[in-house]
């Protein structure tokens, strides 16, 4: 038979053993859950990182595709010339590829006779670089380029804005700021 004092000691030992076992179990559960929590969070972080990078590349692709919409052949407003716009080194250029009247009164190919630089006055108009160094900004706008006007031999700063349907291009040549200048509406031909 166990006395009161021994029984109290036994109960205390059992309780402390249970507490110790319970404490160990709690610690193990905490470690197990914290390990999985960190693992889940690290996986979640990796997924978020890939999603971010992937969305950025999709945006870049979308912007590149939007920027390239200007590429093609455009009929100028007076319908006397076609300009082919193309991309080179992430900038956009345009050259004359067709003239309604390609020859002068003598039957010779028209040349850049109004150019201020005398050595360039013999260049043929067909194949002449008319637009250069345009960069895509956003919202179907290309800026920071120049346009050469062979009618007066002068070069102007230029900005191009395409319509949402991609069929017309507002080409604005200007000196200084774009508020002071002249615009033409070009029509896509291809």
- Together in a domain, 178 and 130: yes
- Together in a domain, 88 and 147: yes
- Together in a domain, 121 and 142: yes
- Together in a domain, 80 and 104: yes
Q: What span, in angstroms and rounded, lies between the C-alpha atoms of 8 and 183?
A: 102
What pLDDT does residue 2 have? 55
What pLDDT does residue 26 have? 63
How are the residues of the chain apportioned to helix, strand and coil, as percentages rounded to the nearest 5?
Answer: 35, 35, 30
Residues 6+ apart with CB under 8 A from 93: 85, 86, 87, 129, 131, 132, 133, 134
Q: What span, in angstroms and rounded, lies between the C-alpha atoms of 71 and 56?
A: 24
State pLDDT tens for residues 101-116. 999 999 999 999 999 9
Classify residue 136: in a domain, yes or no.
yes
Q: How many CB atoms lie within 10 A of CB 120?
A: 13
Query: Which residue's structure tokens are 């390990």?
Result: 35
Mapped onto helix, strand or coil, the DSSP state of residue 90 is: coil
Q: Which residues are 153's β-sheet partners?
A: none
Q: Is the pLDDT of residue 43 over 50?
A: yes
**How many domains does one find in the chain?**
2
pTM score, two decimals?
A: 0.67
Residues 6+ apart with CB under 8 A from 147: 130, 131, 155, 156, 158, 171, 173
> Residues 74, 163: contact at Cβ < 8 Å?
no
Q: Where are the beta strands (DSSP E) in 72-116?
A: 72-75, 81-88, 91-99
- Together in a domain, 101 and 122: yes
Please give the residue range of the domain that contains residue 34: 1-61
CATH assignment of the domain containing 108: 2.40.128.520
- Together in a domain, 83 and 157: yes
- Together in a domain, 80 and 56: no
Structure tokens at 163: 């319509």
> Residues 129, 150: contact at Cβ < 8 Å?
no
Query: Which residue's structure tokens are 């260049």?
Result: 123
- Together in a domain, 145 and 100: yes
- Together in a domain, 182 and 89: yes
Classify residue 66: in a domain, yes or no.
no
Classify residue 3: in a domain, yes or no.
yes
Q: Is the pLDDT of residue 22 over 60?
A: no
- Together in a domain, 142 and 182: yes
Classify residue 42: in a domain, yes or no.
yes
Q: In the chain, pLDDT over 90 holds for what percent of residues?
A: 63
State pLDDT tens for residues 113-162. 999 999 999 999 999 999 999 999 999 999 999 999 999 999 999 999 99
- Together in a domain, 159 and 180: yes
DSSP output for 161-181: EE-TTSSEEEEEEESSSTTSE
Q: What span, in angstroms and rounded, lies between the C-alpha atoms of 137 and 67?
A: 8
């Amino acid at each position: 038979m166990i006395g009161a004092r021994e029984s109290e000691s036994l109960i205390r030992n059992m309780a402390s053993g249970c507490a110790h076992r319970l404490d160990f179990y709690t610690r193990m559960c905490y470690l197990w859950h914290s390990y999985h929590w960190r693992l889940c969070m690290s996986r979640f972080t990796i997924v978020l990182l890939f999603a971010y990078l992937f969305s950025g590349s999709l945006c870049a692709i979308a912007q590149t595709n939007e920027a390239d919409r200007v590429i093609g052949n455009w009929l100028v407003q007076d319908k006397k010339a076609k300009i082919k716009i193309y991309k080179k080194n992430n900038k956009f250029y345009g050259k004359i590829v067709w003239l309604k009247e390609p020859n002068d009164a003598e039957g010779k190919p028209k040349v850049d006779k109004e150019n201020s630089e005398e050595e360039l006055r013999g260049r043929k108009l067909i194949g002449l670089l008319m637009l250069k160094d345009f960069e895509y900004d956003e919202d179907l706008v290309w800026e920071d380029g120049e346009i050469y006007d062979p009618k007066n031999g002068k070069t102007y700063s230029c900005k191009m804005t395409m319509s949402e349907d991609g069929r017309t291009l507002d080409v604005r040549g200007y000196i200084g700021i774009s508020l002071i200048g002249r615009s033409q509406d070009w029509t896509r031909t291809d």
